[in-house]
Chain A
Amino acid sequence: MTGGLLSAAAIAVAAPLAVAAATALGAGGGRPRRLAVAAIGTSLAASVAISLLWSRTDGTPLAFGERLGGGSLVFIDGITAVLLPYVAIVELAILLVAPRRALDSAAVARLLAGAAATFAVFLTSHPLVLVALWIATALVTWVSVRVTPGGRPAARTFAIAMVAAVVCMGVGTVLLLIDPPWATAAGWVGSTGGWLVAVAVMIRKGIFPFHSWYPSLFSGGPMSTALAATMPQVAAYTAVRLLIGHVDHPEGVAAELVVLAQLALVTAAYGAALAIVQRDLRSLIGTLAMSQSAMVLAGLAGTLPMELDGAFCVWVSSGLALTGIGLVTWALESRAGPIGLDTPQGRFWDAPALAGFFLIFGLAGIGLPGTLSFVADDLIVSGTLDDHIHAGLLVIASTVLGGIAMMRGWFHVFGGPLAGDGPRHAILPRERVALTGLLAALFVLGAWPDPLVRALDRATGRLLGVAAHAPADERGPAAAAAADLQDSPHGS
């Protein structure tokens, strides 16, 4: 079993990396998309294999490699089993829908290199490896934005944010390794390290007041880059690996989580509210993505398994839905240019199929019954209200405002008379396949969420098991059972 998991993990990372190198050297000729789809398809198959293999285990995480200060080079647990296929689906959808002119060899190589680094992030828990992968993923994103015509301002903003984030992350990690809170009672060094990592997570996740780069990336960079950089939520994964699991330590990093959660809640509500007054579609998607991403962090910083389950469900559901919306937007822009929101644009008459997809993705992102987001909203609202009433109310406010912004976006893009008598733009088969696949994932997981929720509950119970001191009756059975377990991502 261990061999199988390690092999699949290696394939998931190596396939896109190898094809990225080959594409950069000129392989694939004028059609690099096919090779790239094959590579990410292989990663997806390997990710699904990891999930299937993982489901047959007793839930003990697979930790492989040096434990230099609280992390394994390869680390696979229930969180990995859920999130890795999700990341692969997002990357594959981006590749399938990307317009041809956006997929030259260099762009494909960057996309695949970024995908490989992102897969690697989700397969490790080692702080230093995470730092290195943060740099790799940020670098790929920065180059992609910078080479885009007119993308330099967004690249500069992104660079400022990422340099600050990587510095905080690097220094914080080193301090954590010097004075590890998971090994002994942490002194001021470990505590400072924890705070720096928390600040790094805040910047990388676009949490208020470090949020400006997030919508800027969407409005100024290529859609593929913006989606690939934000939807996997590398910083949230880092928070899961480095911050959750220490909260039971008497001088651990619990305070960072509390501050992160409060600021994340404010960001979620602020982003959703700001989305209502955006004047172009990309900014709308950017601010909504910022809001959803913050909501994930708010849930992750909770103390109840239900909150974490809700956060992971929001992670997956909002990621799939926003990826779908972003890809539809990209497809629309590739046909008829940028899309403003000040007045109704009348695009329904131009591209009715894309309008339908946008609508369903939009509804799936705001809690349409039958989709995963309905389950996610239910879990995160219930969890946060159980934990803190103000947190629950802020989450509710975010979902309400986000929903209003989303519907305003749809009506303003597709409503109104069509300007001019241009030809109707039919949806391409590869676009239809990718978008239908994303929708199917949202609906299947929404109609039958129990396996996903149970898997998450098992994983989050184990995460909180080392940390939670709440009475057993305030925690889920999985968390209560997991509290007895001694093994954790960082050991005990």
Chain B
Amino acid sequence: MTNHDVVSLLVICQLLAPAATVALVGLPTLLGRPPSEPATTRIVGAGFTIGLLAGLITLGVLAVRGFVPEIVHLGSWFTVGHHEATIDLVADALSVPYVCFSTGLCALVNAFAGKYLHREPGFTRFFLLLAVFGTGMNLMVLAGSIDVLFAGWELLGISSTLLIGFFLERGNAVRAALRAFTTYRICDVGLLTAAVLVHRAVGSGDFEHLFGDNWPNGTCLVPAATATIVSLLLVFAAMGKSAQVPFSGWLPLAMEGPTPSSAIFYGALSIHAGAYVLLRCEALLEQAWPARVALVVIGLGTALHANVVGRVQTDLKSMLAYASMTQAGLIFAEIGFGWRVIPLVHVVSHAILRSLQILRSPSALHDRHELEAALGGHPGADPWSIGKLLPERLQVMLYRIALDRGFEEMAMGRLLVTPFLRLLELASRVERRWLTLLGGDAGPGGGRP
């Protein structure tokens, strides 16, 4: 067995371990016999642990060999004419550390949630969705082709939506889930179109044909014009998943989901999925200065917006959501500046800190009381803030802007969503009148078998 075979086996294991847990928990549930709570957490936990161990061993093997990338060809999914969808995975200096990090976080959250959601209705559903998320994450991170990356990306979006709407009985949760899904779906257009363009440009979706396999020093193998268009589409896709302005409104609402999923999705992994895709395609960005400029502008704009708005939030999870958005914006800007390792370190450190903060957020009041009891009173004056250096009138103006969340939602609603929905309502009314004219009125409840 060669080194390549060993790495291939380990990479497949990283992917299949969480995927197998989806089947092991999902199939019995679908057939009406869901596993017990302890069995569910053990199965999902085992999947993530095996994935993590396989990742760590792969990391060791790669480190010994100087991080020479290994491409794992799992064959062709389907082929039509010149369009070949290949199942390629890549183990390199970006994917393997990231998969260890993400699988490790998933394993920790699995352990935390086993206690946190004990006897909660929907316990099995949560862990099933966590396993789907882990599978999607590993698929996206290990993807060696844009087709595989897109599959992982879609799984992330779907599991995220369903976890935001986990508490189905709450109207706010349902609305927040729909809001997030709509944003994801619109921005996914970017990735889908980019995938088609990549196929047209290089005849397949393989990254090695697009920018070689030497991260972070890949070479763009397509013309600059193609690289620019594909990069701009990738930026558009990343904006949705990473909650960048003007697609950021869903993130604070997404905190309606259970705390463990909020931690791993909007503090740690999902919020950085866009940044990961951009880092993976850094060689394309290298050739696409308009995309890099766009990244810097969008990233800094988002950071500023989220920083200002986050200061007036009155609940902890919303504050943390805007704090995450701020950091995600800065990471976008760093990628736009052409840095590679700094944004990666930023992603990992921010993810660890933020997920810890979100996981601790339900205990924040308790922590505060403990602190005050230990100190024997209030811990001290409010911390210093840069905002206090601004002129008072500007502070008031910014406060008003922040209360309205930067008018982002108002602008999107008034300029795009409401007119579009009104147009559709009008069309629907015309359709109903036309049907009444054609067939007459069925009356209430008419036509039910």
Residues of A within 8 A of B (CB): 99, 102, 145, 148-157, 160, 212-213, 215-216, 219-224, 270, 273-274, 276-278, 304-306, 309, 330, 333, 337-338, 344, 346, 348-349, 353, 356-357, 359-360, 363, 367-370, 374-375, 377-379, 381-382, 385-386, 392, 396, 400, 403-404, 407-408, 411-412, 414-418, 427, 432, 436, 439, 449-450, 453-454, 457, 473, 475-479
- The reply to whether A277 and B449 contact each other, CB–CB distance below 8 Å, is no
CA distance A492 to B169 in the complex (A): 63
Q: Give complex CA distance A427, B425 in Å.
A: 35
Q: Is B438 an interface residue (CB 8 A)?
A: yes
Q: List 26 A-B contacts (CB under 8 A).
A: A152-B440, A154-B447, A212-B434, A219-B447, A220-B439, A276-B424, A305-B80, A346-B168, A348-B168, A349-B169, A356-B29, A369-B155, A382-B83, A382-B199, A400-B186, A400-B189, A411-B168, A411-B174, A416-B168, A416-B171, A416-B174, A427-B32, A432-B32, A436-B31, A453-B80, A454-B79
Q: When the two chains form the complex, which single residue of A156, A396, A407 contacts B439, counting CB atoms closer than 8 Å?
A: A156
Q: What sequence of 0s and 1s flags, for each residue 368-408 of chain B, a beta carbon within 8 Å of any chain A beta carbon?
A: 00000000000000000000000000000000000000000
- B77 → A minimal CB distance (Å): 7
| Distance from A8 Cβ to chain B, minimum over Cβ atoms (Å) | 27
Q: Are B196 and A153 in contact (CB under 8 A)?
A: no
Segment with Cβ contacts to A, from B177-185, B285-293, B299-307: B177-185
Q: Provided the pairs A276-B424, A356-B29, A411-B177 are in contact, do residues A400 and B188 lie with their beta carbons within 8 angstroms? A: yes
Kindly supply a per-residue 1/0 record for chain B positions 158-186, scoring 1 wherever the CB is within 8 Å of any chain A CB and 0 otherwise: 10011001001101011001100110011
B217 at the interface (CB under 8 A from A): no
A156 to B440, Cβ gap below 8 A?
yes
- Chain B contacts for A479, CB-based, 8 A: 81
Given contacts A344-B174, A368-B158, A407-B181, whether A153 and B446 have CB atoms under 8 Å apart is yes
Known: A153-B440, A157-B439. 15 other contacts (CB 8 A): A102-B449, A148-B448, A153-B436, A219-B447, A224-B449, A270-B427, A337-B448, A348-B168, A381-B196, A403-B181, A404-B181, A404-B182, A450-B78, A476-B82, A479-B81
Contact A381 B192 (CB under 8 A): yes
Collect the chain A residues with CB atoms within 8 Å of residue B181's CB. 403-404, 407
**Least CB separation from B449: chain A residue:** A222
Q: Does B367 contact A (CB under 8 A)?
A: no
Q: Is B441 positioned at the interface, with any CB of A under 8 Å from its CB?
A: yes
Whether A385 and B78, one on each chain, are in contact in the complex, defined by CB atoms closer than 8 angstroms, is no
CB distance from B302 to the nearest CB of A (A): 23
How far is the CB of B235 from the nearest CB of chain A, in Å? Answer: 17
Cα of A396 to Cα of B434 in the assembled complex, Å? 28
Known pairs A348-B168, A396-B193; A476 contacts B80 (CB<8 A): yes
If A400-B185, A476-B81 touch, does A416 touch B193 (CB 8 Å cutoff)?
Answer: no
**A412, B177: Cα distance in complex, Å:** 11
**Is the CB–CB distance between B445 and A415 below 8 Å?**
no
Contact A220–B447 (Cβ < 8 Å): yes
Known: A306-B80, A432-B31. A382 touches B178 (CB 8 A): no
Partner of B81, one of A304, A378, A412: A304
Contacts of B178 in A (CB 8 A): 404, 407-408, 411
Q: Kindly provide the distance from the CB of B159 to the nearest chain A CB, expressed in whole angstroms.
A: 11
> Which residues from A are CB-within-8-Å of B4?
none
Tell me if A475 and B76 are in contact (CB < 8 A). no
Is B3 close to A, CB under 8 A? no
Number of A-B contacts (CB under 8 A): 202
Q: Are B78 and A375 in contact (CB under 8 A)?
A: yes
What is the chain B residue whose CB lies nearest that of A461? B81
- Once the chains are docked, how many angstroms separate the CA of A367 from the CA of B158? 11
Looking at chain A's contact residues, the main secondary structure is helix
Report chain A residues within 8 Å CB of B29: 356
Contacts of B73 in A (CB 8 A): none
Contacts of A150 in B (CB 8 A): 442-443, 445-448
Q: How far is the CB of A197 from chain B (nearest CB, A)?
A: 24
Q: Decide: B168 and A415 in contact? CB cutoff 8 A.
A: yes
- Check if A453 sits within 8 Å of B196, measured CB to CB: no
For residue A374, which residues in chain B have a CB less than 8 angstroms away from its CB?
Answer: 151, 154
Measured between beta carbons, the chain B residues less than 8 angstroms from A359 are 162
CA distance A153 to B432 in the complex (A): 12
In this complex, what residue of B is CB-closest to A308?
A: B80
A54 to B8, CA, bound (A): 38
Contact among A157, A379, A418, A454 with B438 in the assembled complex (CB-CB below 8 Å): A157
Contact B154 A368 (CB under 8 A): yes
* Per-position 1/0 for B27-49, Cβ under 8 A of A: 00111100000000000000000
Task: Judge whether B76 and A153 touch: CB under 8 Å.
Answer: no
Q: Report the nearest B residue to A278, measured CB to CB.
A: B428
Q: Shortest CB–CB separation between residue B413 and chain A, in angstroms?
A: 15
CA distance A150 to B192 in the complex (A): 44
* CB-CB nearest in chain B for A450: B78
**B447–A274 CB distance below 8 A:** no
Q: A274 and B165: CB pair below 8 A?
A: no
Bound Cα distance A260, B248 (Å): 40
What is the minimal beta-carbon distance from B40 to any residue of chain A, in angstroms? 15
